[in-house]
Amino acid sequence: MMQNLINLIDKKLDEYMPIIYPEEIFKAMKYTVMLPGKRLRPVMCLETTRMLGGDMEKAFPAACAIEMLHAQSLIHDDLPCMDNDDFRRGKPSNHKVFGEANAVLAGDALLTFAPQLIIEKSKLSAEITLKLVHEFTKWGGAYALIAGQVVDIESEGGKYIKSPEATLNFIHMNKTAALFRLAMRTGAIIANVSSEEFDVIDDFAQKFGLAFQIYDDIMDEISTFEELGKTVGKDKNSEKLTYVSLYGLDSAKNKFNSLINDCYGIIARYDSLIIESILNKLKERLSGV
Ligand code: GRG
């Protein structure tokens, strides 16, 4: 079921991104977007729309736009001036294939192409479309995603202003939870739910997003290149502030399990085998660690 949805997302992403002149920029944009990621954010956006009674078909442009924003953040994150990683999703990073200038431009281009897609392709009312673009710009910009990345970079080597606990929470909530909130809030807006329901979904997304970044912190410590498709052990080498470096592996796992259990509790009131299967997969992967 989940794989069917991923196949549909991949088909739409391919359709939405024709290669036109000047080909090099469109190829660079499409390269990272189409590499085989897990597609968690678009899946969660579409599934939120469906489980809340909305028309999933109308959510595809916004769901794909969020995957483009995510891909943009990965392209820029891999640049030598940021995390400097040569691999992403099991293949050479964008700048290794297209050069640094085109990788910067491809990220910039995705950041503007994505809201253009929402405006041009969503068959939704002007009011809902405006709300979606507002959410996109809010969570994808200096109030969230970029803020998280800035503090993440600042934290390397122990440089931060607030307490380590507050700094770590700020990084994880903004660098990672923000895009899961964007995905699920977008789904809830398309389904046109009440503000009470909206808050429940947003609460789930915050908890899931934090759990997912803790999972990512743990995987950086214990996983392999083959599994992750990117260099492992980088957090430790660059002395990054992570759940593992601050609290240790066992506490990180306990915090992850507690958040995932909260997520099960919230999602139980909806009929979502897909979201439950995502929770199961993450939990199972860490169960023997
Ligand atoms: C918006 C201009 C602008 C810049 C963005 C570079 C940057 C600022 C932010 C980087 C944020 C970042 C890389 C966060 C990591 C989040 C994370 C856990 C990524 C991995 O997500 P997965 O595992 O990846 O879902 P796949 O490849 O499966 O999609």
Cis previous bond, 115, omega within 30: no
pLDDT of 143 higher than 90: yes
Sorting pLDDT into bands at 50, 70 and 90, what band is 135? very high
In tens, the pLDDT along 24-81 reads 999 999 999 999 999 999 999 999 999 999 999 999 999 999 999 999 999 999 999 9
Task: Choose one of 83, 175, 223, 242 to mutate for the ligand 1 pocket test, by most ligand atoms within 8 angstroms of C-beta.
Answer: 175
Q: For 169-189, what is the mean pLDDT?
A: 98
Domain containing residue 199 = 2-287
- Percentage of the chain beyond pLDDT 70 is 100
Cα dihedral 7/57/262/167 (nearest 10): 80
Contact 174, 147 (CB under 8 A): yes
- 107 CA closest ligand 1 atom index: 2
Ligand 1 close to Cβ of residue 38 (< 6 A) = yes
Q: Supply the pLDDT for residue 38.
A: 98
Q: What is the residue whose two structure tokens read 């990621």?
A: 37
Measure the CA–CA gap between 101 and 80, rounded to whole angstroms.
Answer: 12
252 C-alpha vs ligand 1 centroid, how far in Å? 20
**Which CATH number fits the domain that encloses residue 45?**
1.10.600.10
Indicate the pTM of the whole model.
0.97
Q: Supply the pLDDT for residue 128.
A: 98
175 C-alpha vs ligand 1 centroid, how far in Å? 7
Sorting pLDDT into bands at 50, 70 and 90, what band is 237? confident
Secondary element (H or E) of residue 87: strand 87-88
Tally the domains of the chain: 1
Q: Supply the pLDDT for residue 288.
A: 83
Which amino acid makes up residue 239?
Answer: E
